[in-house]
Structure 1
C-alpha cells in the first residue's frame, strides 16, 4: 500500500467516529413524537431526552484529551467504539425512561470523545498542504451519518409505534464495525509516540503515512517542538486561562461555541417539527428532513474543495453572513399568520448549506491547528466541552422557546448569534491554511504565546 493510500485508509477509519457522531445526534429526530407518546413526556422532558446526548458529549470531550495524552489516541478511540455499540443497545431495548436517558448519556460520551480525538489525530498525521481537507473529512463523515439517520428514520417510521427503537439501535451495528476497523492496521499518532519516547514506532508510522519526505521534514520539526516543551510542567486547566495562552484558548472556544449557538443542531433535530409547523404533513416533513440532510452532505463536499485553497477565515465569513440572512428570512416568515412551506424549506436548505460549507468543518480544523502541542489535548477538550455545553443549551431550550414564545423568536435569537459570529471572525480568527502545526505554534510563540 502506498503512503498516500495508507493515509487515506487510516483517515477513513478515524472518521468512522464522526459518522457515528452524526448518526447518533440526528437519529432521534424521527423518534421524538413516538418517544414523547411512549413515556408521556412534556415538551421540556422531551428536550431533555434529546439534549442528554450533549451532556454526555460534554463529559466525553472534557476528559478525552487528557486520556489521549496519557494513553494514546488509538486506545481512547477504541473506548468510544465500545460506548457507541453499548449505548445503542441500551436505547433500543429500554423499557423505562431512566435507561433511555442513560443510553443517551453513554452515546454522548462516545460522541464527545470522537469530536475531540478524531480531528486531533487526523491533524497530527496529515501533511500541512492538505491538512484542512483531511480534518474536514471528519465533518464530511458526520454529515453522512446525519443524512443516513434521516433516511433510516424515513423508512422505519412506517413500522409502527416501536420503530423508534430501531432508529436508536442502528448505531450498534456501525459501532461494532468501527471497533473492528480500529484493530486492522490502525497506528498510533506519530507525535504522541515521539512524546512518549517511542521513536522507532513513530518513524514507522511517518514512513507509512508520508514516505521518506515525511521522515526528513516532519520528524525534525516534531522533535524540536517536543524538546522545547520537555522541561515544562504538565499543563493544568488553570494554565489555559493565563496570558497569551488564554487569548488563544478564548478565540478557539468562542468559535467552538459559535458553531452551536447559531442553531444548527436545534434545526437538524427538530426539523420535522419545524416543517410541520410550516404546514407540511408528517410524511412530507420527514422527507424534507432527508433533503436537508442531503444538502448538508453535499455542501460539506464544497467545503472540502475550498478549505485549503480559499482559507479558513474566508469560509467562516461567507458562512456566518449566509446563515444570518437565511435565519433572518425565517424569522420574517414565521412572524406571519401562515407560512409558505416551500419558502421555509428553501430558507432552511440555504441556512444548512452555508453552515455545512463553513462553521461545520472549519471550526474543527481551526481548533485542531492553533493550539501549541503541549496544551493541545487539554485545550481541545476544554473548547469542545464548551461547544457541547452550548449544544445542550440550544437543544434543551429550543422547543421551550418555540412553545412559549413561538418559532419566530427562536429564529430571531439564532440570527443575532450569526451576526455576532461574523463580527468575531473578522476581528479575531487567524488564517492557518498551508502551515505546519509546528509553524503555527512557532508563530504564536513569537507573538508571546
Structure 2
C-alpha cells in the first residue's frame, strides 16, 4: 500500500495523500494574490490624487476669473499672466522631477510635490494682489509638473503587466475628473474657498503615502 502511494505521488496523480496539500497551497496563493491586488489598487488610488490635483489646478482659473478680478482689481493682462504662469511652473517641475525621483524615490517625490502644491494654494488663498497670486500659481504649476511624470511612472512600476494599461488609464481619468470638479465646485463657491479645496487631494496623497510601499524599481 505504501509503495503504491509513493508511486502515485511520483507520477503526480491526485491521490488522497497529495490532494489536501494541493488545496492548501492553492488557497494560500489565492490569498497572497488578493493581498497583492489590494495593495496595487491602494497604491494607484493614492498616486492618482496627484493626477486629480493636476486637473483641479488647470481648471481653477476658469470659474474664478470674475471673482478674482473684481476683488483684487486686476486687469485682463494681469489675470492672463496668473492663468498662464501655471504652465511655466509645470515646465520647471517636469524638467527637474526625473532626477529628483531617482534621488529620493517615487514616494518622496510625490510627497514633495504635494507639499509644494499646498504651499501654492495657501499663498493663493491669502493673496491680496497679483504678485502673490502669481507666486502661488507658479508653485501649484511646479507641483503638477512633477506629478505629470512621477505618477504614471510609479503606477507602471508597481502594477502587474495584465493590469498596467487599465491602471494607467485611471491617471487620465483622474485628471479629467479634477477638471470637472473644479469647474462644478467653482460655480458655487468663492475663489478663496476653491483654493482650499485644491489642497484636499494633496492632503490625501501625503496621508496615503505612509501606507504604501515605494516602487520596487527604485
Instruction: Give your verdict on TM over 0.5.
Output: yes
- Residue in 2 that maps onto 1:44: 77
Based on CA coordinates, which of the two structures has the bigger radius of gyration? 2
Alignment of 1:76 onto 2:109:
yes
CA distance in 2, matches of 1:39, 1:148: 24
CA distance in 2, matches of 1:91, 1:169: 9
CA distance in 2, matches of 1:27, 1:169: 11
Alignment of 1:180 onto 2:180:
no
- Residue in 1 that maps onto 2:195: 168
Structure 1 residues 61-98: Cα deviation after superposition (integer angstroms, max 9, x where no partner) = 10001111122111111101111222111111111211
CA contact (8 A) 2:72 2:128 kept: no
Give 5+ residue unaligned stretches, structure 2: 1-33
Name the SS for the 2:183 alignment partner. Answer: helix
CA distance in 1, matches of 2:206, 2:103: 21
CA contact (8 A) 2:101 2:109 kept: yes
- Residue in 2 that maps onto 1:20: 53
Match of 1:154 among 187, 190, 207: 187
Alignment of 1:90 onto 2:123:
yes
Name the SS for the 1:28 alignment partner. Answer: coil
- Residue in 1 that maps onto 2:94: 61
Give 5+ residue unaligned stretches, structure 1: 157-162, 193-449
- Residue in 2 that maps onto 1:189: 215
Name the SS for the 2:199 alignment partner. Answer: helix
Structure 1 residues 342-378: Cα deviation after superposition (integer angstroms, max 9, x where no partner) = xxxxxxxxxxxxxxxxxxxxxxxxxxxxxxxxxxxxx
Name the SS for the 1:175 alignment partner. Answer: helix
CA contact (8 A) 1:21 1:145 kept: yes
Q: 1:6: Cα distance to partner?
A: 1.2
Name the SS for the 1:99 alignment partner. Answer: helix
Name the SS for the 2:188 alignment partner. Answer: helix
Name the SS for the 1:174 alignment partner. Answer: helix
Match of 1:119 among 127, 152, 163: 152
CA distance in 1, matches of 2:164, 2:188: 37
TM-score scaled by length of structure 1? 0.40
Q: 1:11: Cα distance to partner?
A: 0.7
Name the Cα RMSD after superposition: 1.4
Q: In the TM superposition, what are the counterparts of 1:251-270 in structure 2 within 5 Å?
A: none
TM-score scaled by length of structure 2? 0.80
More contact order relative to length (CA 8 Å, sep ≥ 6)? 2
Q: 1:36: Cα distance to partner?
A: 2.2
Q: 1:43: Cα distance to partner?
A: 2.8
CA contact (8 A) 2:54 2:144 kept: yes
CA distance in 2, matches of 1:124, 1:71: 16
